[in-house]
Amino acid sequence: MAKSYKPRKSDKFAFGVWCVMNRGRDPFGVETRPAITGLEAVRGLAKHGAYGFEYHDNDLIPFDATAGEARKIVAELKRIMKSTGIRATAGTTNLFTHPVFRDGAFTSHDPEVRAFAVQKAMNLLDLAADLDTRVVLLWGGREGAEVDGAKDPVDALQHLRECVNFLCEYIIDRRYPILLSIEPKPNEPRGDMYLPTTGHALAFIETLEHPFMVGTNPEFAHVKMAGLNPYHEYAQALEVGKLFDVHMNGQKVGRFDQDMSIGADGLKEIFFVCKLLKDYAYAGTVAVDAHPFRTEIEPWDFVDRCMCSWRMLIEKVDALNSDREYRQLLGPLVAQKGPLAAALGQYTAANAAKLRGHAYRPDKMAVRPLPYERIDQIVNEVLMGVR
């Protein structure tokens, strides 16, 4: 790897430990890589220069571990964190693997399943507080349906709201400095999942008791699965101060959840996400949520490559933002000032009268140049390294 693309702490790269623990199993084939434990994954990530790691409770602590076993694991994890400096940047509760969650956790019909899910999430919040994790993700792996005749989505959303409200109160009660982040996904593993896109998540958040505690972490692959534009999705969360984390990877549009490395597909699209985060000084972690190709027999080329690609994207963002021709073309477009632009900024009867009385020249306005072909070509030239 070229030296200058090595990760820096200031890049704030984080990886899901589940990404490097992924063994290449898919619905049609068995594992192709040997198992590594969560602790080994954290050690390896630290060695490869990651700033942080994200985890599910059960990536670190097996579902059926005793309290004593859990204590031992956490103590060892803390030793690794202390000696390497790697941080536990985000945590989440696995509410999708065990068959008890086969028809949902927070949205299950069964109130006992919902309560058990909340109990598991409270335990995760305790662990997160202990590890100084500040963001806890809510990815509703099994929160969805295949059979619409069997589940009312209005009921499901109400159950979900009740559970999230309860967890917010728990965080407040315990005085944990933790924010919750909803990760939208349109489908897989469920036929349809609740809160499928960023917009759904944002609308739902506003209906909570404590909306300020809850944000969202869009994932590039999930956005592309829905056929949407990641740049716009991330922007919508960022614009309202709700971009609490980001999950990055590569993905072909409309396919199954491929979770490929950063840049493996959708280079131009992820470039614009990178540009958005840079342009608006996003201060959170850049979390990779992907997995090595099944053809890999160990995960470290994948880890290095994702960070390297992101660093190259940052370099390209800087190149575009400082490109003289690009600035010359874009500058006048975004800085246009019409005589009535100020009137739009505030509704007053006088401004409304001014607007109504103005004689527009739509034919003239319609022929103002918009040099978008040229702008897009400059973007491509920057990305292809020919400028």
Q: Which does 238 bind (CB under 5 to 8 A by kind): Mg ion, ligand NOJ, none?
A: none
Q: Using alpha carbons, select from 285, 276, 184 the residue that is nearest to residue 228.
A: 184
Between 273 and 378, whose beta carbon lies closer to Mg ion?
Answer: 273
Query: Which member of 275, 289, 313, 379 binds Mg ion (CB under 5 A)?
Result: 289
**Active-site residue, 98 included:** no
289 interacts with ligand NOJ by CB under 6 A:
yes
Can you tell me the distance from the alpha carbon of 288 to that of 273, in angstroms, rounded to the nearest whole number? 13
C-alpha dihedral (161, 124, 11, 314), degrees to nearest 10 = -40
- Binding region for Mg ion (CB under 5 A) out of 165-173, 288-296, 325-333, 340-348: 288-296
127 interacts with ligand NOJ by CB under 6 A:
no
Contacts of residues 68-73 at CB distance under 8 Å and 24 or more positions apart, as own/partner, are 73/38, 73/39
- Binding region for Mg ion (CB under 5 A) out of 79-87, 116-124, 218-226, 354-362: 218-226
219 interacts with ligand NOJ by CB under 6 A:
yes
Q: Using alpha carbons, select from 149, 236, 160, 232 the residue that is nearest to residue 191.
A: 149
* Options 11, 26, 56, 200, the catalytic residue: 56
* H-state helical runs in the chain: 17-21, 38-47, 57-60, 67-84, 111-130, 153-174, 198-205, 220-225, 230-239, 267-279, 300-321, 324-334, 341-345, 349-357, 362-365, 372-383
Q: What is the DSSP letter of 29?
A: B
Query: Which member of 22, 58, 92, 236 binds ligand NOJ (CB under 6 A)?
Result: 92
* DSSP bridge partners of 216: 182, 243
**Active-site residue, 59 included:** yes
137 interacts with ligand NOJ by CB under 6 A:
yes
Q: Which residues contact 288 (CB under 8 A, 6 or more apart)?
A: 13, 14, 15, 16, 19, 247, 248, 249, 261, 262, 303, 306, 307
In the bound complex, what is the minimum distance in angstroms from residue 254's beta carbon to ligand NOJ?
17
Between 179 and 382, whose beta carbon lies closer to ligand NOJ?
Answer: 179
In the bound complex, what is the minimum distance in angstroms from residue 183's beta carbon to Mg ion?
5
183 interacts with ligand NOJ by CB under 6 A:
yes
139 interacts with ligand NOJ by CB under 6 A:
yes
User: Which residues are at the interface with Mg ion (CB under 5 A)?
Assistant: 219, 247, 289
User: Which residues are at the interface with ligand NOJ (CB under 6 A)?
Assistant: 56, 92, 137, 139, 183, 219, 247, 289
List, by residue number, the catalytic residues: 56, 59
